[in-house]
Structures are given as structure tokens and as C-alpha cells.
Structure 1
Amino acid sequence: MEVIHATPVNILGGSLFGILLAALCFGALTIQTSSYYCAFPNDGRPVKLVVGVLWTLQAFQLACSAQSLYWWSVKNYNNPLALKWGTWEFSMHQINIVCSSVTVQTFFAHRVYSLSANLYVGVLVQVLVLLQLGFGTATSVKANMHLELQVIVKESKWLFVSWLAIQAATDIVIAIWMCLLLRRRRTGFQKTDSVINRMVLYTISPGLVTSVLSCIDLVLFAKYGFQFGVIVICMTLGPFYSITMLINLHTRKTLQARLSTPSLFERNSMKKIIRENAEGHGRGGSRLQA
């Protein structure tokens, strides 16, 4: 493995570009969060709490990113040796990704269980999520034990690669299961099936984005270590996971708007599918208007 040198282009450039993208994502997430609380006041408290926690995580992450860049570029100005070392704020990127991805994947695992009504399917998906949590936590602990970037790469390469691989695999498995379960709900009515197709698109697109980013991050880190692209993706992957969940929550309003013209049978069929594809049953789920 060729470990790339801690140059200003890789560390400072990657951090600066990553912060800019993360700030854009945080702005989009803030708008989505505000719109969600206004559009779905009847959603259960657990889901509202999760949305608030995800927003708080990204706000904290953005502050940590700015502090780490300040430490490298201002406090250690004209000190190239400082670029070989990370800070605890810099290590927060990885912890944020773990917290965000596990939260969002658990949310979708519950949806898979709600749609399938099969405990084994839900448990299988959740096991993958917990496996990702385990490797991600171990990676975080190992990285904080050795803040020297090249030491982290050499001693923790297999942990990072395993964690990112499981993370990408979990996203793909969730997307595939959701699509299969939704397509089984086809009714044969053109309008209803059109809405189901749109639900499949909304399900697979966000999962595809996060899994592709994880795979790219995996390949770049395995070959180069803390390279420009690795740092950029690390700073934006957490916000992308949060945006994924908010997009999925907001699609209910769009899908319900498409139910204004179908027949009564189609409307009732689709209301049932959307309800099962929402947060789940019970107090944590959404209450769709009749």
C-alpha cells in the first residue's frame, strides 16, 4: 500500500473542500429539517427526536471540521510537521459517520420489517447494522489511540476497510429488500403502480449514493491513506446519510398528492402501502390523513 504524504494539498486542501461541501449539505439538511417539522406535526416523538439528533450531529461535525482546519492552517502556520498529525476534532468525522449511518440504517431496517412483517428479515438487516457499528466503533477507538495519520493507516487499515465494506453492503441490502418488498405490492392499476415505481426510485437512489461514496472512500483509503478524496468524502458522508432519511420522510407528501385522482380502491391500496412504508406502526409511526 502506498501511503500518501501529508502535504498541504491533501490535508488542508481536502479539509477546505470537504468543509465547503459539508456546509452546503448542512444548509440543505437544515431546510429539510425545518420543513419536516412543519409538514408532519403528527409524526411520533421517536422519529422527531431522531431527526433532531441527526441535525445536531451534523452541526457538531461542521464545528469540529472548522476547528481542525484552524489548528492546521492558523495555529500551526508554516509548520509542515503538524500535517502529519490529526486532532480529536478531526477524528470526529469517523464517529459522526458511524452514528449517522447506524441511526439511518436502523430506521430503514424497521421499515423493512414493517413492509415484510417478517421478523427474520428485520433481524438479518439489523445484524448487518450492528456489525457495522462494531467495526466502526473499533475503528474510532484505534484512530484516537494514534493521532499520527500514517500510523493510523498502517495499523488500522483492515479495520477501516472492513467497516466501510460492511457499511456499503448494508446500504445495498436495505435498498434491495425495500425495492423487492415494494414491487410485490403492485396492484395492476396503472396509477397505483406508478406511485409504487416512484417509491422504489426514492428508496434506491439515496442508498445508491451512500454505498457508492463508501466504496470510493474504501478504495482510496486502502491505496493511499488520508488522501484528498478520502478527507472530502469523510466530511460529507455523515450529512449525506442524514439527508437520505429526510428525503425519504418528505416523499410521503409527494406520494399522497398523487393519490388525489385514483379510484377509491386504488386510493385505499396506496394509503396502506405508504402507511407501512412510513416510520412504522404504533406511536412512533405517522398518522396519515384520511
Structure 2
Amino acid sequence: MSAATSAASNATAGDAGAAAAAAAAIVGLPQPWGFFLIGIFISLVLFGIIVAQTWNYFNSFPEDSKWLKLYVGAVFIVDFLSSFFVLWWIYHLLIENWGNIQPYMMLHWALAADPLLEGLIGPMVQAYYAWRIYVISGTWWVSALVLSCSMMAFGGGIAACHAAATLTTFAELINVKVTVIFWLLPAAISDVIIALALTYYLRQHKGRFQGSDKVLDKIIHMTVQNGLLTALTAVVDIILYFTVATPYHIAFTFVLPKLYANTVLSSLCSRASIRRDMDLSNTKQSDPQTYSASAVQGFRTERSQGVVVTVETHELQEAKAYGVDWDSQRSADTKV
């Protein structure tokens, strides 16, 4: 090898090293692409669960109102679009631009759709739980507080989408701190309020009927688990954004929409198992000859059992199936 060839090779290697060093300096070390891939893999696994739960819902609850079915369909479509755009971006980055360092420093328009879709699906799910809080409690102010936080998060999602579309590099994301706060923090606050409010109001109806207590415990456990999981994910996202230069926080935005969708779908699909638990608990309380009469009396006299039906079935047909004579006008609002 001649001295000129060697010098040229060294120069080429030096230029490539300089380009890589420049990219690392902009994006941060270590590179976050592996973390992004892990986040995308987890989100796709969760999307598979969403597909299964959506299929299960439409097969298990054909009697639900068309509005509730449209709501579930809308949640599924928004979540599908979230996965679609994320996959579009990672394919553009890792396949179409393999070996090209420049796109690794630049924000892509498909990635900019992520905060918009997340800012949409979060309020959709939170609005559903706000309605549940209103049905159970009969008061509007807690639901209004939840919806206010949700609308703030939706506006923050639109602003974050605009920022991601107008910014050029990942390094510039640090300049939109206020936007990120208004996007993720109100959503986390709303999730915590939902978990605390539903737990509080459901616990008010415990201790009156042994069979319904077990069902209420199951609902409370699921509510706290789902609400705190989404809130914790949003808080971790915010903490990473403010404390780590490398944009690891983006990976959590891939997962958060899936957690929201799974939250509401698991709640709707759990009605089948809750019905079975209610039947089993009532059967244990009565012999076959007196089962119907005692079940009716238990539902009429114990508000807690009514809460289970109201929250988890959403249909007056379910109450009629148990022979419930609803004397509360508000129970008529449970039909979606």
C-alpha cells in the first residue's frame, strides 16, 4: 500500500469518525436506538393484546350500544395509527437509511405524530373513567377535574406534535420543556385522580353484602393497577426528559398509548368474569329454590351490588337479567 493510499484511507476513516463523533455529541451517549427498539417491541406486544381484547369485546358483548362499540373501535384505530407511524419511522431510520448517519440526528415527521395520537387516546380513556366516576358518585366536580386535566394534556399533545414537526434535530427537543410538561404531567395527574376517586367511591359501598365486596375488591384492584401504571409511565417519561441528555424518554411515548388502550379494553372485557363472580356469590348465599327471590332482595337493599352492575355492565339489560327494580333515576344514565 502506497503512502498516498494509506493517507487517503486514514483521511476517510478520520472523516467517518468525526461524523460519528459529531452525531454522538448531538444525540448523546450512549446512542438510544437500542432503547427505542425495545420500547417499540414492547408496544407491539401490547398492541397484540389490544387486538385480542378488541376481538373478544365485539364477540362477547354484542348487546352493547352502538356508541360504546364505536368508542371501542375509535380507541383501536387511534392505537393502530400510533403503531403504524412508529414502525414507519423506525423502518425509514434503520432500513432505508442504513449506513447514513444524518437521519439519526434528524426528527422525522412520522415520529411527530406520536405525541398527537398519545394526546388523543389518553383523554379518550380518561373521559370514559370520568363518566364512571359520575355514575358511581353522582357528583360532577371530580369528573370535571379529570376532564380538565385531560383537555390540557390533549392541548399539550397538539403542541408537542407541532414542536416535533417544526424542530430539526433531537437535540432541539430540550427547548420545548413547557410543552412536554403540559403534555404529560396533566395526564399523569388525571390518572391518579381517577384511581383515587374510583377507589374511594367504590369502598363506600363495601361491607354491606359479602358477595359484592369480593367483586368490588376486584374492580378496585384493577382500577388502581391500571391508573397508577399509566401515571408512573408518564412520570418516568418526564423525569428522563429533564435529567438525561440522551432522548431515552421517547421510548416511553411508544408504550403509553398501548397502556391506555389496554386499560379501557380490559375494564370492558372484565365484565364477563364479574358477572360470573356475581352469579357465584349469589348462588352461595341461596339455595336453588330461593335463589331468585334472595338475589332480587339483595340487589334492592344493597347499593353496593347495584354499583357493580352500574359500573361494569353499562346496560340496563344486565340489571333486568337479575330482576333488579331500579328506583334510582340516575341508573337510567348507565346505558351508553
TM-score by length of 2: 0.78
Q: Distance in 1 between matches of 2:316 and 2:208?
A: 27
Per-residue deviation, 1:190: 2.3
Partner of residue 198, structure 1: 218
Q: Distance in 2 between matches of 1:202 and 1:144?
A: 37
Q: Structure 1 residues 226 and 279, CA, compared in 2 at 3 Å: closer, same or farther?
A: farther
> Which of 116, 124, 145 is 1:95 aligned to?
116
1:183 to 2:203 alignment: yes
Partner of residue 248, structure 1: 267
Contact 1:64 1:89 in 2 (8 A): yes
Deviation larger for 171-180 or 160-169: 160-169
1:27 to 2:48 alignment: yes
> Which of 307, 311, 330 is 1:273 aligned to?
307
Q: Structure 1 residues 210 and 217, CA, compared in 2 at 3 Å: closer, same or farther?
A: same
- Identity among equivalent positions (%) equals 21
Contact 1:107 1:279 in 2 (8 A): no
Q: Distance in 2 between matches of 1:175 and 1:241?
A: 13
1:72 to 2:93 alignment: yes
Partner of residue 186, structure 2: 166
Deviation larger for 144-153 or 259-268: 259-268
> Which of 236, 245, 257 is 1:238 aligned to?
257
Partner of residue 60, structure 2: 39
Q: Distance in 2 between matches of 1:30 and 1:4?
A: 40
How many residue pairs get matched?
Answer: 282
Per-residue deviation, 1:17: 1.6
- Provide, for residues 213-246 of structure 1, a one-character-per-residue CA deviation record: whole Å limited to 9, x for no partner: 0111110011225533x23211111011000001
Contact 2:119 2:156 in 1 (8 A): no
Q: Structure 1 residues 248 and 102, CA, compared in 2 at 3 Å: closer, same or farther?
A: same
Partner SS state of residue 127, structure 2: helix
Largest Rg, 1 or 2: 2
Contact 2:170 2:247 in 1 (8 A): no
Look up the equivalent residue of 1:276 and give its one-letter code: T
> Which of 221, 224, 239 is 2:244 aligned to?
224
Please list every run of 5 or more consecutive structure 2 residues that lacks an aligned counterpart in the other structure: 1-23, 286-294, 323-336
Look up the equivalent residue of 2:197 and give its one-letter code: W
Structure 1: 4+ residue segments shifted above 6 A: none
Per-residue deviation, 1:255: 1.4
Partner of residue 210, structure 1: 230
Contact 1:86 1:148 in 2 (8 A): yes
Per-residue deviation, 1:69: 1.1
Q: Structure 1 residues 278 and 193, CA, compared in 2 at 3 Å: closer, same or farther?
A: closer
Q: Structure 1 residues 226 and 160, CA, compared in 2 at 3 Å: closer, same or farther?
A: farther
Report which structure shows greater RCO (CA 8 Å, sep ≥6): 1
Partner SS state of residue 202, structure 2: helix
- Provide, for residues 2-32 of structure 1, a one-character-per-residue CA deviation record: whole Å limited to 9, x for no partner: x984269644323322221111111100000
Contact 2:105 2:170 in 1 (8 A): yes
Per-residue deviation, 1:177: 0.5
Please list every run of 5 or more consecutive structure 1 residues that lacks an aligned counterpart in the other structure: none
Contact 1:202 1:251 in 2 (8 A): no
> Which of 101, 122, 134 is 2:155 aligned to?
134
Deviation larger for 241-250 or 83-92: 83-92
Q: Structure 1 residues 225 and 29, CA, compared in 2 at 3 Å: closer, same or farther?
A: farther
Per-residue deviation, 1:266: 3.6
- Provide, for residues 154-185 of structure 1, a one-character-per-residue CA deviation record: whole Å limited to 9, x for no partner: 2x012102321111111000110111111111
Q: Distance in 1 between matches of 2:246 and 2:117?
A: 17
Q: Structure 1 residues 225 and 174, CA, compared in 2 at 3 Å: closer, same or farther?
A: farther
- Provide, for residues 96-132 of structure 1, a one-character-per-residue CA deviation record: whole Å limited to 9, x for no partner: 2111101000110111111111122322221121122
Partner of residue 17, structure 2: none
Look up the equivalent residue of 2:200 and give its one-letter code: L
Partner SS state of residue 84, structure 2: helix
TM-score by length of 1: 0.89
- Provide, for residues 22-58 of structure 1, a one-character-per-residue CA deviation record: whole Å limited to 9, x for no partner: 1111110000000001111111212211211121122
